[in-house]
Structure 1
Amino acid sequence: MHSVTSSGSFTIGTTTLPIDKAIVLQGGITGIQPSPLFDAVGAPTLNSPPGKVPGGLLGIVNPAPNWPLPLWQAFWSVVNSVNDVTATMEPVQTIQTDFGAALNPNWGGDPTAVRLALRVRLQNPFLGNSCYIGSAQNPVVVKLQTGTTAPPAPTAPISGSPGSLDFIQVGNDPYAYLQNTGNILVDNTFAVPAAKGCGNIALGLPILTQLLDSLVSGAVNLKVGLPSAAGKNQAILQGDTGIAAAAYVRDGSPYQ
């Protein structure tokens, strides 16, 4: 299975991250029925390039008046030199798939086409390398579907689309390769936990690590609106997916 998300957005709290770089999800599945996504060999299973957070550091951190002076000085020094903040999605559990549900969202069962348990890594010289929204123990769990969501009130449902489906012949097999084009996967029913681990101790700040984490992570959470309850967050992913039998993509296959 090889899926490319080419556009869309990911909203957590009050911040929307546009998808402006292709996200590739790939690996092995047992079929279009419910299946774990087995890790790709020789390539990342989820290749999610870091995306720029709109507004940068100023957009996700609001310094509080009670910040110690060294922290204020470090913040503005970084803002004046590099305001950019990147966000990267990292899976923390095995990805689950159900392409039968993706192709027929109204079949009457669980409509989840792809279940992703993620953490989102925020990076900037001020935030450091351990600033995460979500964790392995408390992930952001997104249940993407091509049908219509059922978020808690008063959030309105949103709808995806199965896109179009074509079978491509390989050799004498007319159903060897399934090409799903223009699918739209959505979810606005998930919750997002608070950020933790923010604040770069490598800046040499004379502040206890625990206090630094509390102050900086607290500022991120206040500005971004975290934790954010179910119904206040949204994922919309649009792209194409290809599924082929292993025999046609295995190394040495004449059809590879």
Structure 2
Amino acid sequence: MRKTSLRTAALAAALTLASASSANAGTPSGPYAMFKFCPYTNPSVGSCVLNTTTSGTLKIGSTTMPIDKPIVMQGGIESLGPSPFYAAVGAPTLQAPPGKVPGGLLGIVNPAPNWPGPLWTAFWAIVGAVNDVSATIEPVQAVQTNFGNALFPPEDGSDPTVARLAVRVHLQNPFLGGGCYIGSAQDPIVLKLQTGTTAPPPPNLPISGNTGNAYTVWTDEPNYIGYLQVDGNTLVDNSFAVPKAGGCGNIALGLPIITQVLDALVSGAVNLKVGLPAAAGTNTAIMNGKSSIASSQYVLNSEQ
């Protein structure tokens, strides 16, 4: 297990104790400007967090989607221990840009031969014009965190989760319409990301994350105070289940069939091709990135 330096550990302790005071009319400046969307004036928020996933993969069912664009999670926490994640102010708490699904529409839809003729024709027309399918991760519940586990994965059998994310995946293509989702608010994909070693059900085998390199970035104002930086960490989970897709194909094609039938045909084709629903032990999330954590009081003190 990686150990932080004494000064980093001291700063981590300070982060759990510091709390924000009343708001000033200003904007965080200098090295603390990155935390400008943190709810640092909320008295319940002891620290501000900016976490950026820079690479990785999300495997759901038989489809593996690369993470090749930054995913940013920002907001506030009460402490480095178990804490709700307080939403960002003035920006998305979880900002995940759309990523391309390998194979596009042909990669996630297997049209059945008994599809109505107009639906079959529309499918191949759109494949010929716009085969690309984008996938966007969207949160559907509040995030729960324990950033202490990111630095020191527990070895006593206790819950090793660093961040619990309940999400859905929005699939978009003209043929799929605007309401095609894998998972929902009622039945989400629940990721319990950790930096330790997983214990998934079979057929998945254990995989390990990485605590990364934790150090203190010292600043020259005020009073040489700094913030905690963690580079090169890897958060993993391969124990989660993925529900089926729904709401796909809800588009105006001039078809003489009702929307429910269209949804059943197209969503069913997506589920068949992608392998959904996918039981726990058949899916994997690997997220590489970095984190910055600062006392909310220091962020407030930097206002200009």
Is 1:16 equivalent to 2:67 in the alignment? Answer: no
1-structure distance, mates of 2:148, 2:279: 29
Amino acid at match of 1:152: P
Unaligned 5+ segments in structure 2 are 1-48
Is 1:181 equivalent to 2:231 in the alignment? Answer: yes
Is 1:222 equivalent to 2:258 in the alignment? Answer: no
- 1:43 is aligned to 91
TM-score, with structure 2 as normaliser: 0.81
1-structure distance, mates of 2:63, 2:54: 20
Does structure 1 conserve the Cα–Cα contact (< 8 Å) formed by 2:176 and 2:251?
no
TM-score, with structure 1 as normaliser: 0.96
- 1:144 is aligned to 193
> What SS does structure 1 have at the residue aligned with 2:127?
helix
- 1:166 is aligned to 215
Q: Give the number of the structure with larger relative contact order, counting CA–CA contacts within 8 Å between residues 6 or more apart.
A: 2
- 2:19 is aligned to none
> What SS does structure 2 have at the residue aligned with 1:32?
coil
2-structure distance, mates of 1:237, 1:51: 14
Is 1:203 equivalent to 2:220 in the alignment? Answer: no
Amino acid at match of 2:271: N
- 2:167 is aligned to 118
Aligned length: 254
| Greater strand fraction, Structure 1 or Structure 2 | 1
1:189-219 per-position Cα deviation (integer Å, ceiling 9, x unaligned): 0000000000032232222100000000000
> What SS does structure 1 have at the residue aligned with 2:252?
helix
Does structure 2 conserve the Cα–Cα contact (< 8 Å) formed by 1:97 and 1:113?
yes
2-structure distance, mates of 1:205, 1:249: 57
1:136-180 per-position Cα deviation (integer Å, ceiling 9, x unaligned): 000000000000000012321000000010012233666630001
Does structure 2 conserve the Cα–Cα contact (< 8 Å) formed by 1:125 and 1:200?
no
1:38-59 per-position Cα deviation (integer Å, ceiling 9, x unaligned): 1101111000000000000000
Amino acid at match of 1:188: N
2-structure distance, mates of 1:247, 1:159: 34
Q: CA RMSD in A?
A: 1.4
Q: Identity percentage over the alignment?
A: 65
- 1:27 is aligned to 75
- 2:281 is aligned to 231
- 2:111 is aligned to 63
- 1:133 is aligned to 182
> What SS does structure 2 have at the residue aligned with 1:202?
coil
Unaligned 5+ segments in structure 1 are none
- 1:191 is aligned to 241
